[in-house]
Amino acid sequence: MLGLIAKKIGMTQILDHVGDVIPVTVLQCGPNVVTALRTKAKEGYDAVQVGFQDAKERLVTKSQLAQFKKNEIKPKKYLREFRVPATAKIEDFKVGQEILADFFEEGEFVDVQGTSIGKGFAGGIKRWHMKGGPESHGSMYHRRAGSQGSTTTPGRTWRGHHAPGHMGDETKTVQNLLVMKVLKDDNAILVRGAVPGSRNAIILVRKALKRKKIDLLSLKAAHAGGDKKDAKKAAPAKKPAAKK
């Protein structure tokens, strides 16, 4: 699905339409500039290449610089391609067109892809949440993973077994994050929940594939998964049956 390149500013909290405190992540979503178009006739698929953040000419390759000069676009630091969905047409986009944060709407769900924060080398307890040994003073066995294999069959550790190693610094995708607000003046959006990556990290924001837009002014829609609780509160208490 079509999306944008964004920059993670950080996290804060806002009040929703009901008055509850909602943790949100601030994402600066633009401006994204259309730098190239991929068509089925030439490349075999329909896609839009967008660029984010201006870059110096000496920091881009010669082929990219020639492309930017040909299209009369300032060099961009980050370039990504987004496939055009069946509901849209490649003719709707033009090279040099700016796409701003109002590309997303309040109440819409998005999928966010980023690189998780690197934790370096981590043990099994931190990395895989293993139980470990007793915490008593005399056990002498605390934060170790324990046995990894057996001395009989198979007599070795299976490939892919959970073990200490490098943690984090992986590409992660968080799906179905709700867009709480669109700040047109600041060219940013506020999405409910956490987003992978550190501050100022570059991430990709796509329109969600699994969920559609909801009405934020509705109490049940604003509370994710709160329909059953609200229904129980609204339902009248059952009176005990009269004894015969």
The pair of structure tokens assigned to 153 is 């069959």
Q: How confident is the model at residue 232 (pLDDT cuts 50, 70, 90)?
A: very low
221 against 162, higher pLDDT: 162
pLDDT at 172 (0 to 100):
96
Q: Cα–Cα–Cα angle for 79, 83, 88, nearest 5°?
A: 125
Distance, in Å, from the CA atom of 193 to the CA atom of 174, rounded to the nearest integer, reads 10
Q: What value does the mean pLDDT take over residues 45-57?
A: 94
- Over residues 144-184, the pLDDT tens digits come to 888 887 778 888 888 888 999 999 999 999 999 999 999 99
Q: What value does the mean pLDDT take over residues 26-38?
A: 93
Residue whose C-alpha is closest to residue 108's, from 23, 29, 189, 28:
189
Distance, in Å, from the CA atom of 141 to the CA atom of 54, rounded to the nearest integer, reads 54
- Over residues 189-199, the pLDDT tens digits come to 999 999 999 99
Domain edges within the chain:
3-118+170-234, 119-167
- Over residues 81-116, the pLDDT tens digits come to 999 887 788 888 999 999 999 999 999 999 999 999
Percent of the chain with pLDDT over 90: 63
CATH code of 3-118+170-234, in short, is 2.40.30.10
Task: Give the C-alpha distances (Å, rounded to integers) separating 74 from 33, 63, 90, 97, 170.
Answer: 9, 14, 22, 12, 31
CA 51: distance to chain centroid? Answer: 19
Mean pLDDT, all residues of the chain? 87
Q: Cα–Cα–Cα angle for 237, 239, 243, nearest 5°?
A: 165
Tell whether the model's pLDDT for residue 221 goes beyond 50. Answer: no
